[in-house]
């Protein structure tokens, strides 16, 4: 497998799942864990796609070859049963001629193509599922109070209602303090 695929697909899956977790308001620690788990899931999906393609590609290729032969045979039988020189017969014979030119790929090319098709579905699904597991894993340190794993925004100590303002020191609500100034 090429290095760009071997390392690029898991890296892209890691960035995508981590970025999506951040965009959904997850804390930074959970987003990092989601990205790491998503990268591992993307790598596992890529390996799984290759294994599936290698396992089922020979049977699919043989079925395609048999299906093409049987389709041509049935079309030829139906063309023979039609009136000689009819438009249907000439259309069916033209279809048979065109299907004869369709090449059937080699075993290696078919396996490679089937792997790409399987990877198109398996890699994103595995990465997103693993990323969700990473977010769930990030909830454990968050519940223990580990910094970086808690949700909650930054609180400016100088804003109205903060414990650092004069209104808060005297127990006055923010609306009442602006009313009398």
3-state secondary structure of 76: helix
Residue with tokens 């308001």: 25
For residue 11, CA distances in Å to 2, 22, 124, 155 come to 14, 16, 12, 34
Highest mean pLDDT among 8-22, 79-93, 107-121: 8-22
Distances (CA, A) of 164 to 46, 119, 154: 54, 56, 15
Tokens 């090429």 -> residue = 2
How large is the average pLDDT for residues 161-169?
A: 57
Task: Measure the CA angle with vertex 158, ends 153 and 161; round to 5°.
Answer: 80
Burial 152-179 (b: 16+ CB within 10 A, else e): eeeeeeeeeeeeebebbeeeeeeeebee
Q: Please state which of the ranges 51-60, 106-115, 165-174 shows the lowest mean pLDDT.
A: 165-174
User: Tens digits of per-residue pLDDT, 48-98?
Assistant: 888 887 888 888 888 887 887 788 788 888 888 888 888 888 888 888 887
Count structural domains, the chain.
Answer: 1
What is the mean pLDDT of the segment spanning 121-141? 86
Class of residue 28 by CB neighbours under 10 A (exposed 0-12, middle 13-18, buried 19+): middle
Q: Given this model, what pLDDT does residue 132 score?
A: 86
Domain extent at residue 32: 3-149+157-179
Q: Please give the residue that has the higher pLDDT: either 18 or 159.
A: 18
Look up the pTM and report it.
0.58
- Tokens representing residue 51 in the block: 């294994």
Query: What average pLDDT score do residues 9-13 get?
Result: 89
pLDDT at 174 exceeding the cut of 60: no
Q: Is it the case that residue 164 has pLDDT exceeding 70?
A: no
Share of residues in the chain with pLDDT > 90 (%) = 9
């Amino acid at each position: 497998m090429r290095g760009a695929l071997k390392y690029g697909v898991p890296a892209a899956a890691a960035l995508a799942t981590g970025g999506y977790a951040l965009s959904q308001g997850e804390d930074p620690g959970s987003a990092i864990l989601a990205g790491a788990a998503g990268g591992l899931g993307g790598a596992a999906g890529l390996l799984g796609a290759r294994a599936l393609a290698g396992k089922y590609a020979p049977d699919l290729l043989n079925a395609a070859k048999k299906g093409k032969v049987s389709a041509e045979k049935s079309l030829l039988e139906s063309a023979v049963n039609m009136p000689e020189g009819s438009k249907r017969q000439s259309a069916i014979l033209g279809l048979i001629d065109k299907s004869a030119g369709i090449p059937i790929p080699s075993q290696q090319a078919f396996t490679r193509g089937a792997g790409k098709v399987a990877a198109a579905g398996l890699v994103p699904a595995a990465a997103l599922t693993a990323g969700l597991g990473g977010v769930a894993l990030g909830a454990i340190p968050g519940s223990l109070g580990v910094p970086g794993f808690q949700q909650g925004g930054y609180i400016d100590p100088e804003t109205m209602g903060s414990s650092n303002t004069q209104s808060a020191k005297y127990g006055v609500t923010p609306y009442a303090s602006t009313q009398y100034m």
